[in-house]
Each structure stands twice: as C-alpha cells, then as structure tokens.
Structure 1
Amino acid sequence: MDDIIKQLLYSDLGSAQANWAMLAFRILLAIELFRVHGMKKFRGNDGKPEVVPNPLGLPQNLNNLIATISDTIVPVLVILGVFTRLAVLPTIGITAVGYFIVHKNDPIEAKDVPYMYTICFLLLVATGPGSISLDQYLFNHFFNF
C-alpha cells in the first residue's frame, strides 16, 4: 500500500528548475483546457451548452458528466497538483476517444488538438505534477515513510 501511495503522490522531478517548469506547464495546460473546452460545457458558441459527442454509446447523462468533469474540474485539480495522476485519467480518456474515434477520418489538422492534449496529460501521469503541488505536500506531511 505504501508503494501505491508513493507512486500516486511523490513527484520530485530532481531540480528546482524542472519542478517550476512543470508547475508552469500544468497551469498553462489546465487554463487552456478550461478556457477552450470547459467553458463550452456551460455555454457553447451560440449561448447553449455544448453537445458532447458520444461515440461509445454511453448513457447521455454519464457521457456529459465525464466530459464536464474532465474539462472543468480536472483543470482545477491539475493546477493545484492534487491527486494529479488519477485526476487526469478522465481527460486522457476523453481526448484519446476524440483522437481515435471522433476524429478518426478527419484530416490531421482536426486530430491535432486531442492528440496534443492526450500526450500532455500522459506526461503528467508519467512524471506527476512535480514537487510544487499538493500531491507533494500530502506525501511529505501525511505519508512520508
């Protein structure tokens, strides 16, 4: 159990410069996701909420809930760096489905956005949020073994 907690929370990238760079990366990535995609969940281009594609055939309310969480709540968690490795999983799912299914037959220009988001969030899964995060604070103060 201790190893799982360490894998989820510990995330020192080795140097102050790398940790500050990851903080900047997290903030900029999360703001862009919320600004461009999260705001559409509340009001689309015509003032109505965005209609979320449902290529997996999930119940529409569940599909909308996952998309809304991944574009509105996940960015806040990413900025704070709280449970980052787990928090980004819904967003990776949404963006990967966008790339592999929704935009499967579209030109590469249409696939670019979900591809880049998927890669960026996979980086956060691999590295964690860095030491300037609530994950690191939680690890150091509650689980440091």
Structure 2
Amino acid sequence: MKTTLASPRIDPGLFFLRLTGSLLLLYVHGLPKVLHFSEELTRIEDPFGLGPWMSLIPTIIAEVVCPLFIIAGIGTRLACLPIIGVLLVAMVAVHPGWTIAEGQFGWLLLIIFTTLALTGPGAWRLRPRATQRFA
C-alpha cells in the first residue's frame, strides 16, 4: 500500500465523513420512513407516477440500507449511488422551486455522498478476513 504524508489525516477524515453523513441521513430521513411507513405512503411525493410503494421502497433502501454499508466501508462507492440518485430526484424533480437556502440540507448531503463516491471509504473500514490456508 502506497502511503503519503497526507494519508494519516485522510483516513480519519473519510471515516468521519462516512460516519456523520450516514448517521445524519439515517436518523433524519431513513428511520422516520421505516418507523412511520404507512403514514409515509400517504405523504411521499411521486414525481414519476410510479405509485407510493415504488417511490418509498427505493428511498428507504437509499436512506437506511446504503448508509449502513457506507458506515462499515463496504461497497462505499456503490452504496453512494442510490443516495445520490434519491437526492437528485428530491432536489431537481420534487422540490425544483426551493431556493439554495431552503434546500441546503439536501445539497450538503449530495456534496457529502458525491465526495465519498469519488474518494471511496479510505483505509478505516471493515474488510473481509483473509482466508488462511493450512498445509
């Protein structure tokens, strides 16, 4: 593994970004959708006319399942893609009239998860154990 002078600071920084961004998304958006699923089905926006189930289920995957993978550092780049997709739909299709100030939370989450998609998880992540070969 190649190391640079900056890497002692980059890995904890990426871990902090993964942890805090994912926990924020999970706590503010994901868990309320799971805990109040029936109510969310009546309130969720359906910008593409697919029905509330087809809008809510992918959103829950992006806001609950994907952050857990990102926290662990497993498939981070791939796990960021559904989140980025949901955020782009929310910011561009569902709330196009929002000012930057009104949508700042969504835009900041988009910045966080796009950054993680570009950088990956860093070295501080769960890794599968190497299989040991016995002779």
**Shorter-chain TM band:** 0.7 to 0.9
Please tell me whether residue 97 in structure 1 is matched to residue 103 in structure 2. no
In 2, Cα distance between equivalents of 1:27 and 1:79:
5
In 2, Cα distance between equivalents of 1:23 and 1:49:
34
Q: Which moved more, 1:89-98 or 1:54-63?
A: 54-63
**3-state SS of the aligned residue for 2:101?**
helix
Letter in 2 for 1:40: P
For residue 52 of structure 1, report the CA deviation from its aligned partner: 2.2
For residue 98 of structure 1, report the CA deviation from its aligned partner: 1.1
* Contact 2:17–2:112 (CA under 8 A) maintained in structure 1: no
Q: State, as a whole percentage, how many aligned pairs show the same letter.
A: 28
* Contact 1:77–1:87 (CA under 8 A) maintained in structure 2: yes
**3-state SS of the aligned residue for 1:108?**
coil
Structure showing greater relative contact order (alpha-carbon pairs closer than 8 Å, 6 or more residues apart): 1
Letter in 1 for 2:27: R
TM-score, normalisation: structure 2? 0.81
Larger Cα-atom Rg: 2
For residue 59 of structure 1, report the CA deviation from its aligned partner: 3.9
| Number of equivalent positions | 127
Runs of 4+ in 1 over 4 A off after TM superposition: none
Number of the residue aligned with 1:113 = 105
* Contact 1:52–1:64 (CA under 8 A) maintained in structure 2: yes
Alignment of structure 1 residues 26-37 onto 2, 5 Å: 26-37=18-29
Number of the residue aligned with 1:16 = 8
Letter in 2 for 1:34: L
For residue 17 of structure 1, report the CA deviation from its aligned partner: 1.5
Give the unaligned 5+ runs of structure 1: 1-9
TM-score, normalisation: structure 1? 0.76
